[in-house]
Amino acid sequence: MKIATWNVNSVRSRLEHVTDWLQENPVDALCLQETKVVEELFPREAIEALGYHCYVSGQKSYNGVAILTKEPMERVDVGFGAIVEADKVGDLDTQKRVISGVIKGVRIVNLYVPNGSSIGSEKYEYKLNWLNLLGTYLKTLLEDEPEVSVCGDFNIAFEDKDIYKEDGDKSIAKHVMSSPVEREALKTHIFDQGFIDAFRKFTPEKGHYSWWDYRTAAFRRDRGWRIDHHYVSPALHDAAIACTIDKTPRGREKPSDHTPVILELDR
């Protein structure tokens, strides 16, 4: 089974890229982030015409996630509140950033982690609170469903080698997406629960990215960051048999600034 994650930066602006990519890269599930559209206006006809089912949680203008699947998905859940008590969730489900469902016995979780804007800002605090709740959400999920595959735009580069800059570059710690506090949150809420980064199971070296800034010709100069991830629970460590980045869509006309990352599971 193949699961892909792709922040498309507006599914309506990127519809042709999505349908073209699905035709060339048939996957069991394509997890989209930043769809930027309410459910009623999601372009499901074009996707269903390719034989895919659409599971969508959207809002106007901002955020929004969707999972497109070949086979119907079971037990689809939207938001943290599907599993976590309301008093713990608070207002963290207002922005549409979480959708999940089950395919072939595997719980697929699709996330759009808040960007955080800049270190110390209100949005940065929101990101850290959101990651804390994500930890609770995953812990609760794992109690009932050991085979969990989490993917999405995490807006965090866990190690310096996930960034085009030289390892140890002093600017890294001061940058949102690579500050020590954000990395520690990822460690506490993801890795300490036994999840592993599927991409790093196969590819240890520097130089592999999933996002390139629109500015400064970052893609042409390969000034990228690896911030889109697949994390698999302990019960799936051995099942992860490949994880690759497809840079092709980022090189097209009017691209998303992210490109797809594909996980293959022996399931």
For DNA, the binding residues (CB under 7 A) are 7, 9-10, 12-13, 34, 36-37, 60-62, 114-115, 117-118, 123, 153, 155, 176-177, 211, 213-216, 225, 227, 254, 257-258
If the CB atoms of residues 142 and 176 are measured against DNA, the closer one turns out to be: 176
User: In which element (H, E) is residue 229 found?
Assistant: strand 228-232
148-153 and 106-112 beta bridge pairing = parallel
If the CB atoms of residues 39 and 241 are measured against DNA, the closer one turns out to be: 39
Supply the minimum distance, in Å, between the C-beta of residue 254 and DNA.
5
If the CB atoms of residues 227 and 261 are measured against DNA, the closer one turns out to be: 227
Supply the minimum distance, in Å, between the C-beta of residue 158 and DNA.
14
HSE of 29 in the Cβ direction (CA atoms, 13 Å)? 32
- Compute the distance between CA of residue 52 and CA of residue 44 in angstroms, rounded to an integer: 9
If the CB atoms of residues 62 and 200 are measured against DNA, the closer one turns out to be: 62
Supply the minimum distance, in Å, between the C-beta of residue 71 and DNA.
28
228-232 and 196-197 beta bridge pairing = antiparallel
Amino acid residing at 225? W
Chain center to CA of 67 = 11
Identify the residue whose tokens are 């048999």: 241
Query: What is the edge-to-edge ordering of all strands in the sheet holding 240-245?
Result: 53-57, 65-69, 29-33, 2-7, 261-265, 240-245
Supply the minimum distance, in Å, between the C-beta of residue 179 and DNA.
12
If the CB atoms of residues 202 and 214 are measured against DNA, the closer one turns out to be: 214
Q: Please tell me whether residue 65 adopts helix, strand or coil conformation.
A: strand
Supply the minimum distance, in Å, between the C-beta of residue 56 and DNA.
15
Supply the minimum distance, in Å, between the C-beta of residue 14 and DNA.
7
Q: Contact, 100 vs 145, CB < 8 A?
A: no
Spatial CA neighbour of 113 closest among 128, 91, 94: 128
If the CB atoms of residues 86 and 170 are measured against DNA, the closer one turns out to be: 170
Chain center to CA of 179 = 19
Supply the minimum distance, in Å, between the C-beta of residue 12 and DNA.
4
If the CB atoms of residues 75 and 221 are measured against DNA, the closer one turns out to be: 221
Supply the minimum distance, in Å, between the C-beta of residue 162 and DNA.
11
If the CB atoms of residues 55 and 209 are measured against DNA, the closer one turns out to be: 209
2-7 and 261-265 beta bridge pairing = antiparallel
Q: Token pair for residue 11?
A: 């599914």
